[in-house]
Structure 1
């Protein structure tokens, strides 16, 4: 099984596209711009889903499900929201097909036109806030902390598997609160959950910040985000959490009776991450040999490959290995014993390296005689011989070390690629030669922001929350600036 992967230095974009397909994560479908997520790719998404879902529920959130169709009139109730999504909406206009009278095939029945067109959800704020009007009457109904796991459709012209597809999977949280501060606290809580998950499960270091006004979610007063850096020096927005103020509550007339008996509009948040996290995972860690997966998200954490001649040797190896498999599983470690006789060991080694399995164990006749295993780690490709008595402890240690090592490797890369710049000329030069994040002063105007974007294709990724407040002068206009912001080219 030859990998034949394009190298990252040769063509990073091509390397990514090939890896997604060859590692059996996803493929393009018969529907333009939509993907088929294959079982191995979906198994990783399920682990992402399970980890986040647990964190949401531990903080009091519950799951629900809302319709995929949204009446067109709902979108028009919040002006900035509809303006932000209008160009991406798929619209259902009819509800029936019929056979053409001339026998040419199936056509849309012109008599089956909907009285009101339905939008295939690009996001669910409008349908959910229409529902919340019925659910919220009193302060006793608050806070309302709801999440849904769903698919959404945003019509895209240029697509790339996981990173940008017309249909994608995600979670979207929508919460309602009695006070402004409670809603802000919620948006920040979720931001911290996303950052925690990215760093401690995905092993992807992220920078927490807020978006500029022009980059905010349509209808939000504040958008919080986590930004990650890929190996090609481009940034990727890995998650967003929005403080929506009372915009949607007013648009859909969602009020509650306070303890004093007054009627007030609730305060809102929304937040989400999507299958784009799969792209972040691939591009942060993987190498020219294939995927490198963090053990916490790997569908298979340990694979065991027997090396044998004849069924008698295979049976002897299996007798040795199966108790080990059971012991590992009892410790919560996912393990696969690949005793297929249709593929040679070399093919299997190649396959699991390509698929990013963190730990590979090989056992042959000599290992049986010596009571040992050959243990290889995917992140560094190092191999060692481990005594059978020590192998479980060594595997546990390796899984911990790999998770830590790939985070540190990504963190070091990011730190090496955060560059302070003070002049626009220096910024433009380094943007093309070095890449990464650029910490620079900006005068706060959308005109300057747009000028930089038009001339360099770089955008303000975030205003860092943890960055030092350092007054200076805008690198473009020379006007006063309250603090540095982070620029980068991005996916």
Structure 2
């Protein structure tokens, strides 16, 4: 971060320094040395140069709250819209969509404010997941944010994977701490010393705890809202069992809940599978995951993970119990987590050139009702009909709001709510009032329909179900169109350059995977295994590994990833 003491220098020098910082600001932001630019106020000049995540500057028109001037390629009557298209500049597009009431950039790079529009999505997923794990007898708890270095470094294999990202507290006020304190990147080493204290005999098992909390990982590789941030929200479950069979069962039960979050709530298709030895959780026995794929960028996303830790941590932290025969045994442990990364995957999957598209199940507002008065129409009657419509929908359990603001035109409201991704819009105008009907407009495909008010509630419920299902099917078709099955190295390279999700026969050797990474390393990142799907296609006898030429043991998804 660059800091300038303007008081201690002359006005002339101050002006030169300010000009220099202004000129260099896009490049400083690209290097994460300055925060992103703050939103423009209505008193600032009409045209400014703004720098997006790529550092590229563009001339954009400022749009005020009443419509103002239009941005590039945006309808004049609304003054709203995105300045770039999803297919033309995905990074800029994603940043713009996120900034529209989902997040706010903070003055510490890589940290973001979650605004109510995104926090509501997290809370809806939290409500679902929390209820499901409680059915499994998992109990919520909370452990401290801080970790002593002695405990953190006790399990060296585990912490090695996190060491570069661990943030340390070294001062209290102006005084140096006698011993630096780490901020948790994950909580195995925080929790397990106490598991060894609480678990004594077989009657203390299973121990199943979960905490909803934040963690900090001081990443330096391209911080991205939701997808890769230095602080994020998640849940982390930590369980201990008497037998491996119990642990294995829970790993898959939790993974299925993660699949449901993505496919049933976020309408994002995922693949359930096993991570490779190179990609598994450091210090664990094996790792399972749900993997998503973003067609626009050709990158996979590790959506959530469920790990079997085996007895590695039990040995390190002496988590032993006395079995029914009076013999001492070590417990078998699992850990599992999903985070606010889920929201980023949803945005990337469903958003379009108008902005965000929210699946109805996670939208805090599922239906917005907008009055469309015209000239000498009965404006109050239209407003009353909007209010009554929202009341009827709300009583039926549908999350609905009316937008009765009189300082915005209906067109402006349409664009605003479209950018926010509300699944269904209801319009009520003079003709609708006269015919005792409303007009519905779907956000996912733009289909319009006139519906009698008498059957509105039932019809809206049905529409929301159709929107949810359609969003999943569209996303699944796009994902499946990107899957390419290959057999040879040449085919692999061609598919990789075409941004495909590659399914390839593999010998399952760590050295071969490391070699693939080394051979594909470039500016856009190296290829790696994403997961080996549980649902394996048939592997004909004699099939060879695409990379080594050795006998293949399984089919595995490969590609670049976030």
Tell me the TM-score normalized by structure 1.
0.94
Which string of whole-angstrom CA distances, capped at 9 and with x for unpartnered residues, describes residues 246-273 of structure 1? Answer: 1111111111111111121111000000
CA shift, 1:240, in A, is 0.3
Cα shift at 1:63: 0.9
Question: Equivalent residue of 1:213, what SS?
Answer: coil
Describe the SS at the equivalent of 2:561: coil
Looking at structure 2, the residues matched to 314 and 177 of structure 1 have their Cα atoms a distance apart, in angstroms, of 65
Q: Secondary structure at the match of 1:360?
A: strand
Question: Is residue 2 of structure 1 aligned with residue 80 of structure 2?
Answer: yes
User: 59, 75, 93: which is aligned to 2:152?
Assistant: 75
Q: CA RMSD in A?
A: 1.5
Aligned to 1:370: 435
* Per-residue deviation, residues 292-333 of structure 1 (Å, max 9, x unmatched): 111000010000001125898332123223332222112211
Q: Corresponding residue for 1:48?
A: 125
In the TM superposition, what whole-angstrom CA distance separates every residue of 1:410-466 from its partner, at most 9, and x where no partner exists?
A: 111122221110111111112112x23111122222222122222321110001111
Counterpart pick for 1:441 among 495, 505, 516: 505
**CA deviation map 1:204-254 (0-9, x unaligned):** 111000111110111111000000111313211100000001111111111
Contact kept in structure 2, 1:254 and 1:265, CA below 8 Å: yes
Residue 109 of structure 1 pairs with residue 180 of structure 2:
no
Matches within 5 A, 1:22-61: 22=100, 24-61=101-138
- Judged with a 3 Å threshold, the aligned counterparts in structure 2 of structure 1 residues 317 and 74 are, in CA distance, closer, same or farther, namely same
Q: Is the 8 A contact 2:508 2:554 kept in 1?
A: no
TM-score normalised by structure 2 residue count: 0.82
Q: Deviations over 1:26-46 (max 9, x none)?
A: 122011211111111111111
Q: Contact conserved, 1:216 with 1:223, CA < 8 A, in 2? A: yes
Partner of 2:261: 197
**Mapped partners of 2:440, 2:257: distance in 1:** 34
More displaced 10-residue stretch of structure 1: 85-94 or 356-365: 85-94
CA spacing shift, 1:236–1:2, aligned 2, 3 Å: same
Answer whether contact 1:469 1:482 (CA < 8 A) is retained. no
Shift of 1:390: 2.3
Shift, 1:469, TM fit: 4.9
CA contact (8 A) 1:229 1:436 kept: no
For residue 146 of structure 1, the aligned residue among 209, 228, 234 is: 209
Instruction: Kindly indicate whether residue 233 of structure 2 is the aligned counterpart of residue 172 of structure 1.
Output: no
Q: Distance in 1 between matches of 2:536 and 2:478?
A: 19
Distance 1:468 1:346 in 2: 50
1:342 aligns with 2:419: no
**Distance in 2, Cα, partners of 1:338 & 1:368:** 17
Deviation at 1:73, TM superposition (A): 0.7
Q: Which runs of 5+ in 2 are unaligned?
A: 1-78, 521-525
* Residues 1:452 and 2:516 aligned together: yes
Q: How far 1:93 sits from its partner (Å)?
A: 2.1
Equivalent residue of 2:364, what SS? coil
Q: Residue 474 in 1 paired to residue 530 in 2?
A: no
CA–CA distance in structure 2, aligned partners of residues 152 and 395 of structure 1: 39
Q: Provide the rounded CA distance (Å) in 2 between the counterparts of 1:453 and 1:436.
A: 16
Alpha carbons 2:321, 2:329 under 8 Å: kept: yes
Pick from 187, 193, 197 the counterpart of residue 251 of structure 2.
187
Instruction: Give the C-alpha shift of residue 185 in structure 1.
Output: 1.1
Q: 1:134 aligns with which of 197, 203, 221?
A: 197
Q: 2:532 aligns with which of 423, 438, 463?
A: 463
1:41-440 → structure 2 map (5 Å cutoff): 41-94=118-171, 96-97=172-173, 108-110=174-176, 113-114=177-178, 116-157=179-220, 158-232=222-296, 233-308=298-373, 313-433=378-498, 435-440=499-504
Whether the 8 Å contact between 2:274 and 2:534 is mirrored in structure 1 is yes
Distance change (3 Å), C-alpha of 1:184 and 1:268? same
Greater RCO (Cα-Cα under 8 Å, separation 6 or more): 1
CA deviations on 1:370-429 (whole Å, 9 max, x unpaired) are 111111000001111112122222111110000000101111112222111011111111
Q: Match of 1:7, SS?
A: coil
The answer to whether the 8 A contact 1:70-1:118 is kept is: yes
